[in-house]
Structure 1
Amino acid sequence: MSSWIFLMLACILAGFALLNLPLSGTFLAGIDPITTVIGLLAVLVFSLYLIIKGVLFIFRKL
């Protein structure tokens, strides 16, 4: 398995970490919506990229 796949999976995990980051009650509570949007975009973009690469790989094998 290529190392770029692990990098994409690490980016997805980092996006989930940003989504679950507890910032309420800290001085960073103001940037909570920003971290949520960045985490959501990271999960969506890297997941879609892996899905597209997987589908292309399957069709190349046919």
Structure 2
Amino acid sequence: MHSLALLYLACILAGFALIKVPTSAVISAGIASFFHILGGIAIIVFSLALLYLGVKALIGK
């Protein structure tokens, strides 16, 4: 279970990295907003999964 928690933490960091993707002439504004939305969803989903693992460990099951 410890490695699963580290994987979720890595996914949260990847979500922050998607939000911070720099926009250039190659990446249009539409693609940049897609990265912001996808990064936000990844952060929320994997944060909730990490919280679930924490609560499950506190309860003992």
Q: After TM superposition, is the score higher than 0.5?
A: yes
Unaligned runs of 5+ in 1: none
State the TM-score, normalizing by the size of structure 2: 0.85
Unaligned runs of 5+ in 2: none
1:60 maps to 2:60? yes
Q: Are 2:5 and 2:53, in contact at CA under 8 Å, matched by a contact in 1?
A: no
Give per-residue Cα distances to partners, 1:3-58, cap 9 Å, x unaligned.
111111110000000011111x3221230111001000000000011001101211
1:10 maps to 2:26? no
State the TM-score, normalizing by the size of structure 1: 0.83
For the aligned residue pairs, the C-alpha RMSD in angstroms reads 1.6
The alignment-based identity, stated in percent, is 43
Distance 2:53 2:5 in 1: 10
Map 1:1-62 → 2, pairs under 5 A: 2-23=2-23, 25-29=24-28, 30-60=30-60
Distance 2:39 2:55 in 1: 24
Q: List 4+ stretches of structure 1 deviating above 3 A.
A: none
Matched pairs, number:
60
